[in-house]
Amino acid sequence: MSMSISTHRCRGCQASSLQEIIDLGNMPLAGGFLSDRASIATEQRYPLKTHVCTQCSLIQIVDPVDPNILFKDYSFASSTIGQLVSHFEQYAKWLAERYHPRQVVEIGCNDGVLLAPLEKLGIKAAGVDISENITDLARKRGLDVVTGYFDQRVTAALRDRLGPVDVVTGSNCFPHNADPGAILEAAKIVLSPEGYLCLEVMYAGDLLTQLQWDTLYHEHLTFYSLGTLARLLARFGFHVVHAERLPMHGGSLRVVASQVQRAATAELSEVRAYEESIRLNDPATWVDFGARCKRKIEIVRSTFEDLARGHRIWAYGAAGKATLWLNACGMDYLEAMVDASPLRAGKLMPGVHTPIVFPEEMKKHPPDYVFITAWNYAPGIASKESWFQGIWATPLPELRFF
């Protein structure tokens, strides 16, 4: 089996006109933590190149890693993350109040984090997900879940069992898929002709304005804007009727579409105007973004390399973005990575193999500098470790020491 599938057509509009904006070289998987030093010998790296489509401006990582490697034994159960649980409770309510669905089907249902609150509201909910260990968790909660790909075979079986449903929804799984057209075709089979397709995706607008290059990793294949997603949906007969921005995952976008023409909401026009104001759907914007990210990486790389000659440096927060910073900046000199999660402490960081330790260890051997790789949580981390007398550093939006 080949490890990656090569594609040179735009995932959104099918044009063969992709322009590279960032090449991070061969990178380990962002969540590929190693359990011990013996695993280093078999560690895999995959090319990580981000492109913009010069026709529709869709941001995409080409050469996707086989989803069986990425998601089969996924270690990310949504219901263990408080923020996500409350997001999906709110989302279930929002769907219920706005569209009054009797039945909902979810693409990429994870452990049932949305199915459960929908069922609580009296809505019949079924989900599909490829991850075996995670769907087992959902089934144990008594939820209606199919393990497999969201394809036409699976949705035809769902339609036979449930009839056409009022809403098909997917949160974040959609941008993780290399063939979004196949998902849309499959969705049409189980969705009633008057039904709503509701998608939540990581938003290209936040990627751009916050220079979040550290979210460009193998799992995150596609960063949609309203403009690029609307264009893709139109190819499959869907009209966008609503859009709104969400704070989830550092910035997301919720888009609702229908196969019948309906009045658009005021929020949809607001998002559209915002995208025009920042020239989000202009390929030149993204070429410039790539250049600015490269400069940012270079500043962090050279600054810490100089510091490492005379100082002891640790990092804090073994999230996916940490893998990107440490590897893109060649930070093999870090003494340790601090993380409170028992799923990560005791393991080694992908690529650079920095040992991950619990926060207590930092108290025993306080370093001179701590690089907060989970920079979006920096205020919380610094106040939790207020005993620390050394210097904290965050890489984004600007490299800052405090």
Residues that bind Zn ion (CB under 5 A): 10, 12-13, 15, 53, 55-56, 58
Q: What angle do CA 184, 155, 241 make, to 5 degrees?
A: 35
Cβ pair 175, 232 in contact under 8 A: no
**Nearer Cβ to Zn ion (10/207):** 10
**Nearer Cβ to Zn ion (12/367):** 12
Nearest distance in Å: CB 119, Zn ion: 38
Nearest distance in Å: CB 222, Zn ion: 11
Listing DSSP states for 374-395 in one string gives SGGGHHHHHHHTTT--SEEEE-
**Nearer Cβ to Zn ion (120/235):** 235
**Nearer Cβ to Zn ion (55/79):** 55
User: Rounded to whole angstroms, what are the CA distances from 4 to 131, 218, 269?
Assistant: 19, 11, 39
**Nearer Cβ to Zn ion (232/352):** 232
Helix pair angle (180-190, 226-235), 10° resolution:
60
**Nearer Cβ to Zn ion (56/84):** 56
Nearest distance in Å: CB 276, Zn ion: 18
The candidate with the shortest Cα–Cα distance to 394, out of 384, 377, 247, is 377
The candidate with the shortest Cα–Cα distance to 104, out of 51, 48, 17, 162, is 162
Nearest distance in Å: CB 235, Zn ion: 10
Nearest distance in Å: CB 230, Zn ion: 12
Cα–Cα distance between 288 and 379 in angstroms, integer?
Answer: 30
**Nearer Cβ to Zn ion (155/222):** 222
Listing DSSP states for 337-385 in one string gives EE---TTTTTSB-TTT-PBEE-HHHHHHS--SEEEESSGGGHHHHHHHT
Cα–Cα distance between 142 and 179 in angstroms, integer?
Answer: 30
Nearest distance in Å: CB 225, Zn ion: 12
Nearest distance in Å: CB 352, Zn ion: 34
The candidate with the shortest Cα–Cα distance to 115, out of 149, 146, 155, is 146
Hey, how many other C-beta atoms are within 10 angstroms of the C-beta on 386? Answer: 7
The candidate with the shortest Cα–Cα distance to 212, out of 46, 400, 344, 50, is 50
**Nearer Cβ to Zn ion (10/280):** 10
Cβ pair 299, 211 in contact under 8 A: no
